[in-house]
Chains A and B, each alone.
Chain A
């Protein structure tokens, strides 16, 4: 069995957020980590590997320094890493990113593709499902449990107050929630091996069946008009009233602010 896990290097939320003049993130200037949902997806793949001996390949698109997350994944137990990096691919929105990743995935054999639900820097949750559309395979999103049964994958898909159990024939794509599991730590020996391992680096020329019009900043339908850091909210108002008084108080406040 072959699993490809798509991971993204994202800014560490503990560090500051910096922007380029065009409004895109200045990733080179920020501390970086493996996106938490992707890491849970990787852990799910590694657990399948522990049980079945599956081969786990990790794929990322980003700046050259994004190879760090591939080495981290190898140090956790992944078998190989592929970095897609090219200047013409920079500034991509979800459409251009999924087009790029699908172009890379067409070069690979896979039974299962796992992506994170969404990245903490964009929060769109679009790239995983878009990849499945490009590759014309089924997708199950918001996985809180992933099991392999024969040539099928059985997934618990998270909903607000319940979960659905869905079964899909492989090859298929699953998007993982960070709640899926507690990712393992790397091992020191794994880190040493990861730095001896060769990372495959692909550029635009290595992408299969993709159109330049759908790549990079120019191929991105989403245009960022303006980006800013989170605006801090002021401290809320705390009142201690009995339930009836509370309702009247809240209604009064909402009317006062012309919300209702």
Chain B
């Protein structure tokens, strides 16, 4: 067991750090304040391969491992939670299911443009009446000749309006379950922007990650080709759950990055801020708080990297599940992000409550990591479900 990063991973981390500090950090406050989607930086990230890190080279990606992708989301999120989730949703929730479940034609059609950032990806499962409870999904797909006809809506979709390629979960059948109840059977579809009948609804105004484009997707008699089906018909639910397992590692990395960013700012601030004639870092309360924050961040990092390495085993062909590791990483990293950013604001005192200081934004950004791609409660359900089965 080795806790040391290889030299190539160290160099990749340095690359992401340099990019984040130079290109992303100067924009972070404005992105938050104006709810502006940072398209210029997304295009730059596309140019340098950040939008297709774990996609194999044969499909135009970088051919790197999951750990490298995780470090990218982590470093971006240290300075801007919005930018972190853009890469995470694009990679884990759109490129990854196409790579895992797509036909060769689908991979060749979509992955090169996604990996180069020419196109942006999104994923639609959540609906007004269905989040964790997938059976509440109302979006329906009916096969009509050579086309599927989609009707329904999706809400809270990350990269909603800016994306070009969407993975959409809809029910395609209703069967009788074990206890005689009606059970919906779901399927996954690839839907392209501009398809007639596919439009956007409300843009959500959010507490945090305010630059990310969160929209409602509306499907009204939206006709997509028969071969837009992703994976086997009726297997949409396991595809969605497996996709979310991967997505949770991305969000865990985002949470980890936000926590690390807040810790770094707080260390700097407490050294500079003087009260009673000395810097507040000389106070034992500050020292103990920082020690606790750093210890939890380190523990979160180990869980996140472990989950990334487990998913890597899967990516290399091993028949392993990384569901529990992903749930633990997301649960812990998200709660650490919330705790660390809250303490960071507290240690900044009044300045921590002012928008000019990054930790104010980081605390707002941290909250969503406990909610999306499965709340902390859902992660506990996943973990305990595996323990008690």
Contact = CB atoms under 8 A, between A and B. Distances in A.
B83 interface: no
A186 B15 contact: yes
A72 B19 contact: no
Interface residues of B, number: 19
B331 interface: no
A11 to B, nearest CB: 16
B72 A188 contact: yes
A189 B49 CA distance: 8
Contacts of B63: 189, 192
A190 B57 CA distance: 11
Interface stretch (B4-12, B180-188, B243-251): B4-12
B15 A194 contact: no
Contact of B8 (A184, A185, A187, A192): A192
Contacts of A68: 7, 11
Contacts of A191: 8, 11-12, 15, 64
A251 B7 CA distance: 58
A188 B56 CA distance: 12
Interface string B181-205: 0000000000000000000000000
B62 A188 contact: yes
Nearest to A189: B62
A71 interface: yes
Interface string B128-152: 0000000000000000000000000
A189 B61 CA distance: 8
Contacts of A184: 48
Interface in A153-194: 184-192, 194
B50 to A, nearest CB: 7
A66 to B, nearest CB: 14
A240 to B, nearest CB: 29
Contacts of A72: 11
A182 to B, nearest CB: 10
Given A75-B11, A185-B48, A192-B62, 19 more contacts: A68-B7, A75-B15, A184-B48, A186-B11, A187-B48, A188-B50, A188-B62, A188-B68, A188-B72, A189-B62, A189-B63, A190-B49, A191-B8, A191-B64, A192-B8, A192-B12, A192-B64, A192-B68, A195-B6
Interface of A: 68, 71-72, 75, 184-192, 194-195
Interface of B: 6-8, 11-12, 15, 18-19, 48-50, 53, 57, 61-64, 68, 72
